Amino acid sequence: MIYLDHHATTPVDARVLETMLPFFTERFGNAASKQHRFGWEANDAIERARKQVASLIGAGSKDVVFTSGATEANNLAIKGAAEARRSDGDHLVTVVTEHKAVLDPLKRLESEGWRVTVLPVSSSGLVDLAELDAAITARTVLVSVMAANNEIGVLQPIKEAAALAHSKGAWFHTDAVQAVGKVPFDVDALDVDLVSITAHKIYGPKGAGALYVRRPSTSLRASNRGVKIAAQMDGGGHERGMRSGTLNVPGIAGFGRAAELAQAEMPSEATRVTGLRDRLLEALGATTDGMTVNGTLDARLPGNLNVSFEGIDGEALLVSLDDVAVSSGAACTAAEPSHVLVALGLSKDRARASLRFGIGRTTTAAEVDYAARKVSDVVTRLRAMSPV
């Protein structure tokens, strides 16, 4: 079985697992235990991980709040910002191609009386900055635009979007789950306020993530803007009161190591993975008619390819790819045609007849060649069998 679904999740790197293991057994302490060595050791591991994660995104380590993953980080950012800014406005802005972990918290806020603008995208998959600008008003408290899409891999103009939000007094959140560790991402260069990330997309474990929360700066930055969000989980006051709950020490230690490895290996990995992606596209293009690439190739994650096929039944396509693990959309919404592809203008049938390839750290050229041959054979066979 060949795994080409690295946007859904990634395997834990052996070096990450090695870092995690002691914290399940001999170093099992609670990081909040201040009175003995077991607690100190666990706390040291957390603080090391905090530095490693912060370094990957160019942040100060005090701005990193550990969570159970990006779904929780997105909920904390969006609901926490809305609650904290209730008296400043009544409006939030996002984009139709966001992950459900952004869209659904916003829907919840809408049901509680907030106004939410969900902007469309063009067929490239990118948001139009003039439309974004027009949507943000003095009543807007938060704008949320993802850094890289989890289905079509396109990279949104985050820096420009954040500047537009700030020019009207709104805070800016980005779900950067798919971008961080794959393409350069620096919270100061982009000037973003809230950033969601997760370990299991960067060869770390599932169940560990973080929200970057920009604190009012003590440095001489041009703007001294900082954000203070309302906690959504109350209890022991962990994570500077922003996320109570005993910390997942093995998971977070693994997250830190995964971040460190991603940072060190990103330049060479990005080049290698882009090469494999282009090789896959070329091989598919040479052997398969009626194929289009979904979303622009000009601003895209190195390891992403998303293509759709004319005149193919999507379900038959996926079933026939029995030894190549790919998907037709996000793992969590697999039953529906992808809302992302429909937003690009594809019909529901065409969206179903789409494949998302996610190339990753362990992918080889031989695997890519095999997958391309297999897809091309399956598409040819299904077309030959089809009455239309």
Ligand X SMILES: Cc1ncc(COP(=O)(O)O)c(C=O)c1O
| Identity of the residue, 71 or 376, whose beta carbon is nearer to ligand X in the bound complex | 71
Residue nearest to ligand X (CB): 69
What is the three-class DSSP state of 255? Answer: helix
> Is the Cβ of residue 89 or residue 153 nearer to ligand X in the bound state?
153
Three-class secondary structure assignment of 285-345 = HHHCCCEEECCCCCCECCCEEEEEECCCCHHHHHHHCCCEECECCCHHHCCCCCHHHHHCC
Going by C-alpha positions, the residue among 145, 94, 146, 152 that lies closest to residue 298 is 152
Q: Smallest distance from the beta carbon of 233 to ligand X, in angstroms?
A: 15
Residues 371, 373, 378: CA angle, nearest 5 degrees: 95
Please identify, using beta-carbon distances, which residue of 146 and 262 lies nearer to ligand X. 146
Min separation Cβ 385 and ligand X, Å: 34
State the number of CA atoms in the 13 A half-sphere of 350 facing the CB.
Answer: 16
Question: Minimum distance from CB of 285 to ligand X (Å)?
Answer: 26
Q: What is the closest distance, in whole angstroms, from the C-beta atom of residue 156 to ligand X in the complex? A: 11
Of the candidates 353, 361, 373, the residue with the CA atom closest to the CA atom of residue 280: 373
Strands 354-358 and 304-309: antiparallel
Residue 251 a catalytic site member: no
Considering the complex, state which of residue 146 and residue 227 has its C-beta at the smaller distance from ligand X.
Answer: 146
CB nearer to ligand X: pick between 29 and 207 = 207
Chain residues binding ligand X by CB under 6 A are 69-71, 99, 101, 146, 150, 175, 177-178, 198, 209
CA distance 206 to 6: 13
| Interatomic CA distance for residues 145 and 137, integer angstroms | 16
- Set 134, 138, 332, 334: catalytic member: 332
Amino acid at 385: M
Q: Which of 221, 146, 137 is closest to 176 using CA atoms?
A: 146
Least distance (Å) between residue 197 CB and ligand X: 8
Closest separation in Å from C-beta 368 to ligand X: 22
Q: Which is nearer to ligand X, 103 or 283 (CB)?
A: 103
CA 338 to the chain's CA centroid: 16
Residues labelled as active-site residues:
332
